[in-house]
């Protein structure tokens, strides 16, 4: 199912389908059918009633427009749904109609339906995370020795490698992904508590009914109903926020490296991708734009969810009613960010020659730190720093390489010698522990993956 036009930049087709009206309705109906089956096994309702309810619980048989109108009037999805389902059941089995929604409350329907949607969303997100994981590993390995400018406060700095940069993106994204998996594991529990969260209407069989519903739906059974305890969902929303922020950081880096003045990387193109309505020469970083847009939306939504956690007593007013659209948009934003950056990483064009050219364009000034460290051993740090301040000013003003300028300064030439000055501006000789850090980031990511799959 395609997304609505207003959501077309904010979700992916699988998630748009997942959160479509028909899918949401079916999730609610799945709860009602599971409730009836669990109660029938315990002798609380006739098996014939459970069968009739299950047959009637098909989303295509309901009028979505009418149901949506009634939900707004009722202030909850559960009441109009129970009424509509009761009428469907009555048409085929009048005796069974009275057993629809037996012992449950409207929030049980809404919360469990939301959890079912989240359960179905998890593999959609994970599939794109896996693609992104592999693509970034490939980039990190392929470009282990590809030198490029480091950039601090948006200015040229000593060199790094693109492999290290890619490994850094990967590690942060996988840390976020791991937190998200943990949060999903905690959140995927059934809601079955009845009016006040005690299931008193089901007598001594309340816990057994809740357990049966959880088993029917493939969800976990919490210690008790959680109507006004939203911490599990809050953890999930926050995990989405952190992951989306890390995806946004990757997107920010790539979009900056794609600027015409830099052109060290470029997103994959293709028909209808990255063009301009007025400028034929453009190759816009569209995947990065979508991820950045998602990362811009999500923090405010996280705050919105957290602000609704202070829900009153056993059932709240306004707090949980605010959650459905918030969680939907957060999950879809996370999904479009992951999918977009997976596409970017899988087809990213890395221009190693341009990266080296941009290093060369600094005329060696990015190696001033290296020269200070070398001279500092002989002259002291302060004296070395003063000499390099003078040398870099000359290098910039005269458009000459730093090593050349330093070679004309007797005190420097005396201390460093011709050989050190000649090699001063070789990027590969001033990478420090870059590759060790790259390997550590990849190794840590491998260990995390092994623990998850254990």
Please classify residue 415 by burial: count the beta carbons closer than 10 Å to its beta carbon, then call 0-12 exposed, 13-18 middle and 19+ buried.
Answer: middle
Residue of 339 and 7 predicted with greater confidence: 339
Please tell me the predicted confidence (pLDDT) of residue 266.
Answer: 95
* Residues 6 or more apart whose Cβ sits within 8 Å of residue 226: 111, 189, 191, 193, 232
pLDDT tier at 276, thresholds 50, 70, 90: very low
CA distance 335 to 332: 5
Please tell me the predicted confidence (pLDDT) of residue 273.
Answer: 59
Give the whole-number percent of the chain exceeding pLDDT 90. Answer: 88
* Residues 6 or more apart whose Cβ sits within 8 Å of residue 25: 59, 62, 64, 67, 81
CA distance 41 to 243: 42
Please tell me the predicted confidence (pLDDT) of residue 453.
Answer: 58
State both tokens at 421: 């000055």
Please tell me the predicted confidence (pLDDT) of residue 271.
Answer: 61
Q: Where are the beta strands (DSSP E) in 13-154?
A: 147-152
CA angle 192, 193, 195 (to 5 degrees): 130
Region 171-179: mean pLDDT is: 97
Question: Phi/psi of residue 161, each to 5°?
Answer: -120, 150
Please tell me the predicted confidence (pLDDT) of residue 274.
Answer: 53
Contact between residue 158 and residue 431 where contact means Cβ atoms under 8 Å apart: no
Contact between residue 32 and residue 102 where contact means Cβ atoms under 8 Å apart: no
By residue count, the chain amounts to 454
Whose structure tokens read 């790259």? 438
Fold of domain 105-189+226-359+434-454: Fumarase C; Chain A, domain 2 (1.20.200)
Please tell me the predicted confidence (pLDDT) of residue 195.
Answer: 94
CA distance 270 to 260: 19
What pLDDT digit, counting tens, does each position of 336-358 carry? 999 999 999 999 999 999 999 99
Please tell me the predicted confidence (pLDDT) of residue 279.
Answer: 43
Residue of 72 and 273 predicted with greater confidence: 72
pLDDT over 70 at 430, yes or no: yes
CA distance 156 to 129: 32
- Among the residue ranges 298-302, 420-424, 444-448, the one predicted with the least confidence is 444-448
pLDDT tier at 219, thresholds 50, 70, 90: very high
Question: Phi/psi of residue 349, each to 5°?
Answer: -95, 120
Is residue 157 helix, strand or coil?
A: strand
pLDDT tier at 257, thresholds 50, 70, 90: very high
* Residues 6 or more apart whose Cβ sits within 8 Å of residue 211: 38, 221
Active-site positions?
Answer: 276, 315
Task: Identify the CATH assignment for 365-424 out of 1.10.357.10, 3.50.50.60, 1.10.40.30, 1.10.10.60.
Answer: 1.10.40.30
Contact between residue 202 and residue 225 where contact means Cβ atoms under 8 Å apart: no
What pLDDT digit, counting tens, does each position of 55-99 carry? 999 999 999 999 999 999 998 999 999 999 999 999 999 999 999
CA distance 258 to 246: 19
Contact between residue 84 and residue 67 where contact means Cβ atoms under 8 Å apart: yes
Is residue 319 helix, strand or coil?
A: coil
pLDDT tier at 413, thresholds 50, 70, 90: confident
Q: Where are the domains of the chain?
A: 105-189+226-359+434-454, 365-424
Give the whole-number percent of the chain exceeding pLDDT 70. Answer: 95
Please classify residue 408 by burial: count the beta carbons closer than 10 Å to its beta carbon, then call 0-12 exposed, 13-18 middle and 19+ buried.
Answer: exposed
Across the chain, which distance is largest between two alpha carbons, in Å?
104
What pLDDT digit, counting tens, does each position of 128-154 carry? 999 999 999 999 999 999 999 999 999
What pLDDT digit, counting tens, does each position of 192-218 carry? 999 999 999 999 999 999 999 999 999
Asked, colleague to colleague, whether 105-189+226-359+434-454 and 365-424 share their fold, the answer is no
CA distance 125 to 75: 31
Query: Mind spelling out the 3-state secondary structure of 123-147?
Result: HHHHHHHHHHHHHHHHHHHHCCCCE
Give the chain's mean pLDDT.
Answer: 94
Please tell me the predicted confidence (pLDDT) of residue 452.
Answer: 56
Please tell me the predicted confidence (pLDDT) of residue 454.
Answer: 53
């Amino acid at each position: 199912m395609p997304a609505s036009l207003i959501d077309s930049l904010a979700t992916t087709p699988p998630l748009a389908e997942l959160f479509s009206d028909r899918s949401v309705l079916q999730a609610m109906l799945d709860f009602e059918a599971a409730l009836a089956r669990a109660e029938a096994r315990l002798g609380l309702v006739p098996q014939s009633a459970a069968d009739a309810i299950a047959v009637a619980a098909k989303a295509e048989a309901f009028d979505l427009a009418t149901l949506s109108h009634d939900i707004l009037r009722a202030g909850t999805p559960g009441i109009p749904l129970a009424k509509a389902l009761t009428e469907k059941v009555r048409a085929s089995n009048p005796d069974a109609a009275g057993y629809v929604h037996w012992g449950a409350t409207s929030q049980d329907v809404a919360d469990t339906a939301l959890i079912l949607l989240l359960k179905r969303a998890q593999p959609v997100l994970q599939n794109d995370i896996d693609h992104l994981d592999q693509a970034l590993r490939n980039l990190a390995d392929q470009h282990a020795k590809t030198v490029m400018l480091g950039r601090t406060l948006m200015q040229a700095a000593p060199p790094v490698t693109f492999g290290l940069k890619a490994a850094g993106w990967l590690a942060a994204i996988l840390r976020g992904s791991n937190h998200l998996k943990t949060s999903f594991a905690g959140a995927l529990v059934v809601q079955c508590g009845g009016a006040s969260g005690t299931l008193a209407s089901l007598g001594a069989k309340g816990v057994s009914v809740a357990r049966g519903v959880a088993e029917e739906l493939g969800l976990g059974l919490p210690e008790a109903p959680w109507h006004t305890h939203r911490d599990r969902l809050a953890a999930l929303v926050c995990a989405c926020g952190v992951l989306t922020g890390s995806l946004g950081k990757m997107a920010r880096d790539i979009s900056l490296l794609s600027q015409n003045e830099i052109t060290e990387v470029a997103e994959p193109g293709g028909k209808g991708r990255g063009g301009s309505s007025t400028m034929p020469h453009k190759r816009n970083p569209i995947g990065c734009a979508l991820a950045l847009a998602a990362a811009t939306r999500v923090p405010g939504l996280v705050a919105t969810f957290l602000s609704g956690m202070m829900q009153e007593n056993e059932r709240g007013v306004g707090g949980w009613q605010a959650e459905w659209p918030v969680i939907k948009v957060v999950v879809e934003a996370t999904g479009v960010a992951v999918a977009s950056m997976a596409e970017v990483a899988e087809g990213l064009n890395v221009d190693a020659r341009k990266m080296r050219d941009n290093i060369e364009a600094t005329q060696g000034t990015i190696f001033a730190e290296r020269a200070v460290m070398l001279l500092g051993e002989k002259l002291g740090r302060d004296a070395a720093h003063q000499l390099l301040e003078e040398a870099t000013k000359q290098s910039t003003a005269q458009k000459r390489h730093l090593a050349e300028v330093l070679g004309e300064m007797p005190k420097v030439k005396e201390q460093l010698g011709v050989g050190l000055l000649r090699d001063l501006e070789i990027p590969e000789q001033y990478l420090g522990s870059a590759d060790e850090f790259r390997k550590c980031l990849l190794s840590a990511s491998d260990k995390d993956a092994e623990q998850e799959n254990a």
